[in-house]
Structure formats: structure tokens, C-alpha cells
Chains A and B, each alone.
Chain A
Amino acid sequence: MLPKDTSMLSLLAALAFSGLLASAGFDSYTAMTDKAQAQAEAVEDFQEWKRQYTQLLPLEGRWSQALRPLNEARDLYTLHQMLGEHPRSNPDTLLVERIERVILNERDLGAQRVCLSSGSGSGVVFTEKDFPTLLAGLEALSLRPDVQMGSVHLSQEKAEARAFVSPLCLLLRDEEEPQK
């Protein structure tokens, strides 16, 4: 039973207001809940990202160890030095055939690919006194992550074992590595 003297008009207005407020409040509640949920998901995403990121972070070190920075390659001589002593190649005929960005899975890895040639053909000639030495050298080269080797053609030339690697590219990372 309603208390005496209650104004029906104001009571109805209050009821209508409460109804409006309830529906608006419900909408806001839904929106707020959605927002809270989205935020919670963002936190979850972030934590997942962080987990992956921290997991992958050691790669940074591996990357900068495996690849020499581009600014170390000042000239053909230093490039030849980077190829190493064995297998032997001729520094005098060495040319830079092309330089391109290293793209993998449509993503720039932050490195340049410097492809070399020994003058004729788009590849580098290595020579050693025999095949076992040559193959050992080539294998050592192929184990380096900063060297990309294409096809390898082996042949005997005079008394020497000859390998024509085409293409042969050195990967040089960009200098500015964001230090973490």
C-alpha cells in the first residue's frame, strides 16, 4: 500500500525515469562489461606477446653475432675477407653483382644481401688442391648463416678442384640494431 499523500503524477514520472535509467544503465553496463572484457583480452594478448617476445629475444644476440654489420663491408677487399680463407677464391676478380634487401615471408629482416661474382657468370669460383678440401671448405661456408649459397658446380680444372657457386651472397645486417 502506498503511503498517504503520495503524488501519483510524480510517482509515474519517477517510474518512467527509472525505466529509462534502467534501460540506459543496462546499455552502459553491457558497454562497460564489453570494454572491461576487451581490456582484459588486451592484457592477455599483451602477456602472450610478452611471453613470445621474451622467448624470442635471445635471437637478437644470435642475429647480431651471426651477421656482420653492413658498415664493416667497406670495399671488395673486406668482403673477400668476410668470405674467409677457405675455400680459396680470387680477390682480384671479385665483383659485387647485386645488393638487395633480405626479405623473408614478406618481411624485411633488416639486412642486405650482397651477392658476389668472380667476374664471369653470376657466381663465385673457389679452387682448392683437391675435392675433399674443397668440399670441407664449402661445407664450412654453408654452415654460416650469413652466407647463402645457390647451386654448386664441381669440376676438375687442370690440377685443381674447382667449384662454381651461383649465386653466392653475404648477408650483412643493418648497423642500427635497437639495443635491448
Chain B
Amino acid sequence: MSLKLKVQKREGPLFACDVSQLSKGLKTLGKERLVLCGSTLLGSLEPLKGVAGYVAQPPRSTTRAMPWSKAKGKSLYVSIDKEALALVVKARQKPVFALDALLRYGQRVKGADEHVVLGAFEGSDATVVLMLHFRKSELVALNEYTLAPASAHTFEMDLHVLLERLRMAHAQAIFHWCGPLSAPAGQALQLAPASLWQTAHGHNLTLSGRPSLLRQHGLALGLVLASVASVFVALYVPYTQYVTARDALSRENSQLQGEYSFASEKLALLRARQAFFEVSSHGDRRLVQFKTVLEVLAQQEDLRVRESQLNSNLDPVSRGRPGQTGKAADFEVLVDVPREPDSTALAQSRPLLQELSAQMGMNLRLATTDPYKDIEKSASGDNKARRQYRIQGDFNNAP
């Protein structure tokens, strides 16, 4: 508790508690942070309406609750000195508000229901002590006290008196000392880490006091841009696939010299001609088979072929006799053989047909019209009576 807070003036933040201190400090300011305090800022729990020389800033919430939460507290209204604002904006600085840093610290500190957070800043001709009173992490009161400069011999005493007065007013509260001036000796104070000033958020200030359009809408803009970009990215892949396929098609097509336009027509014609060649080769086999039939007949003893007919399978409409279902027989031959006087025409035909069928490997049958006829001796020139048969058969269609 007795540890003294040593403010590192060189590397630590630059504290500016009035305009002259600020303008002087800005000249030498390097990369250190700038903390505004003292008369450059006004803070109040009541709305500040048009204080002359000050520009209103967006109000802060006294609690950490979300804006839509029921536990949302009141607002802390903050204004900044116009001249200080102009200097800061001109120097493109992002200053930390001492008020904000203490508010942030007080809202987060734990251990008791009541806290008093103190900050002491050295101005150019006075010491400024900022007091924030928290109850259950909610800012309920704030005040600023101006004491003699830290170098004055009355300073220590003034500070002690101030602290004693505050302790009497807030007997239950735990006191926190946030610097940057060293904590007074002999006081029971919780010392806040010096990093408090380093981690506090800086503000992008505008002369109007309202946050810049970019800060207000930047996130929305980013979201819009990101979604537009992601849509483009998502469409890029299928688009390139499409383009690739299209190019492949036109490349292939150019190889065929644009014949794709009547392609299907052409292909169908080729297919039909292929089918034509296949069909026309069937005709060959028919005639060859017919020749075999005739050869077998020619080998038969005492059998004469009078007529023979190879029926067409090209033109199914032209053939077909009444009483026959489907197509006509593949072939029909008119033969005569010596008559066997003891048997009837039909009886004689059976062994003949069986014999011929066996030799040809086909099923022969008598025609349904004019199947047989007896021919007398004179008709054929020789002395034997003959029988004439009209025989039909079908080729084996097995390939």
C-alpha cells in the first residue's frame, strides 16, 4: 500500500490539463499517448447544454451494460474545450480522455459495493484532482477539485485535507488512486496500475464533436463491401468453369469448322446410312440361302424344280396371301416327283418333306393353296405319272 506510483514522464503519456499545456506539449509530442484532463474537458451527469467554448461529445454510459439492457445506467455528458479540440484535430492526435480512463477503471474494479476513483493531474498552474464515485460499478457522482501546484508547499496538506473530506463523505467506499501524480503518503489507497493510461482508448475527434462518418458507418460499409466481395468471389468459381467449358466448346467446334450447327442432322444422316448398309447386307444372305435350297433340290433324284420363288422381305406390303398370318414364306418351290401309285398325294409328301427338311436344315411345308397336283403321263413327256408339290419354307434367321 505504501508503494509510490512513479510516473515515467518520458515514455509515459503526455497529460494536458489546459490549453497552454496542450499547445506546448503537442510541439514535443512523439509517439506517446496524449491524455486530456483538467479544464480541457467538462464532465457532468446532467446534460450540458451549449456551454460556451466547449464542444459536446457523444455521451458515455455510466455502466457497462449494453444500450438495450434494462440495467443501462444514466449518461455521462462530456464536452471538450474548443481550442484544445482544434489543436488536437490539427495535430491529428487521438487523445485519451482522463474522464474515460477513470470511468473505465471504476466500472471494472471489484471488491466492494462502493468505490471512489481518484486521478491527480498536474496542470500548468494548478493540480487537478478528479473524483469519480461508483456504486455497484455505476458512476453516481463526479467532481473536480483544483489544488495548488504540486510544487507548492501547501500542496501536500491540501491533498490530505481533500482526501479526509472525501473519506468522511464516502465512509464505506474503497479509495483508488490512479495517478499520474504520486499517491500521498500515509493514506489507505488502492493503487491502480500505471498501464491504465496506456490501455485507455483514444478518440478520433472531429471539429463538430460528432464522430466522423467513417467511424459511424465504417463497419456497415465494411460489411457491405465484404458481402459484395464475397458474392463476387463465390460467383467467380462457377463463372470460370463456365468460361472454360465455353472456350473448350468453341475450340472443339473450330476444329470441325463450324459444322456443329447442323451437327445432329448430319450425324443422324450418317447413322441412317450406317443402318442402310447393315440392312442391305441382309439381302445378300437371303439370296445365298435360296441358292443353297435350290442346290439341295437339284441333288435330289427324280425331282424336278418347275418354278421357284424367293419372296421379298424388303417390301412387306406387297406380299402375304389371304389366310396366312404375318408374312409370306421366305421361299416357295414348285417341284414334281414320280407318283407313288399306292399312296395318296399327302402321304407321299411326308417322307419327301422330311428328307428335304433334314438336308436343308429348315422346316418345309406344303403351301396352303394348290399344295399338290397329279400330273398325267403326257404332261411331262416321259412315261411316268408324276406328282407336283408346292413347298414353302423359311430361312433360319439365326445369324
Interface residues of A (CB under 8 A from B): 2-7, 10-11, 13-15, 17-18, 21-22, 24-25, 28-29, 32-33, 35-36, 39-40, 42-43, 46-47, 49-50, 52-53, 56-57, 59-60, 62-63, 66, 102, 104-105, 107, 109-110, 131, 135, 138-139, 142-143, 145, 148-156, 166-167
| Contact present for B223 and A15 (CB under 8 Å) | yes
Known contacts A14-B224, A47-B252, A56-B267: does B231 contact A28 (CB below 8 Å)? yes
Indicate if B315 sits at the interface (CB-CB under 8 A): yes
| Contact present for B269 and A109 (CB under 8 Å) | yes
Indicate if B362 sits at the interface (CB-CB under 8 A): no
| Contact present for B234 and A149 (CB under 8 Å) | no
Could you say which residues of chain B place their CB within 8 Å of the CB of A166? 312
Could you say which residues of chain A place their CB within 8 Å of the CB of B264? 49
A29 CA / B294 CA spacing, docked (Å):
74
Interface residues of B (CB under 8 A from A): 58, 201, 211, 215-221, 223-224, 226-228, 230-231, 234-235, 238-239, 241-242, 245-246, 248-249, 252-253, 256, 260, 263-264, 266-277, 279-281, 283-284, 286-288, 290-291, 294, 305-312, 314-315, 318-319
Could you say which residues of chain A place their CB within 8 Å of the CB of B211? 4-5
| Contact present for A57 and B270 (CB under 8 Å) | yes
Nearest Cβ on chain A to B376's Cβ, whole angstroms: 20
A74 CA / B309 CA spacing, docked (Å):
33
Could you say which residues of chain B place their CB within 8 Å of the CB of A63? 273
A49 CA / B315 CA spacing, docked (Å):
33
| Contact present for A36 and B267 (CB under 8 Å) | no
| Contact present for A104 and B279 (CB under 8 Å) | yes
| Contact present for A21 and B215 (CB under 8 Å) | no
| Contact present for B241 and A7 (CB under 8 Å) | no
A13 CA / B224 CA spacing, docked (Å):
9
Could you say which residues of chain A place their CB within 8 Å of the CB of B246? 39
Known contacts A10-B216, A53-B263, A148-B283: does B309 contact A109 (CB below 8 Å)? no
| Contact present for A49 and B267 (CB under 8 Å) | yes
Nearest B residue to A53 via CB reads: B267
| Contact present for B216 and A5 (CB under 8 Å) | yes
A151 CA / B327 CA spacing, docked (Å):
13
A150 CA / B290 CA spacing, docked (Å):
13
A5-B211, A43-B248, A155-B307 provided; 18 other pairs, C-beta below 8 A?
A15-B220, A15-B223, A21-B231, A22-B231, A25-B234, A29-B234, A36-B238, A59-B274, A107-B269, A109-B272, A142-B286, A148-B283, A149-B314, A152-B290, A152-B309, A154-B310, A167-B312, A167-B314
| Contact present for A148 and B314 (CB under 8 Å) | yes
Could you say which residues of chain A place their CB within 8 Å of the CB of B294? 131, 135, 154
Known contacts A11-B219, A154-B307: does B245 contact A36 (CB below 8 Å)? yes
Q: List 13 A-B contacts (CB under 8 A).
A: A3-B215, A7-B220, A18-B224, A25-B231, A29-B231, A35-B238, A43-B249, A49-B264, A56-B270, A104-B275, A149-B283, A151-B319, A155-B308
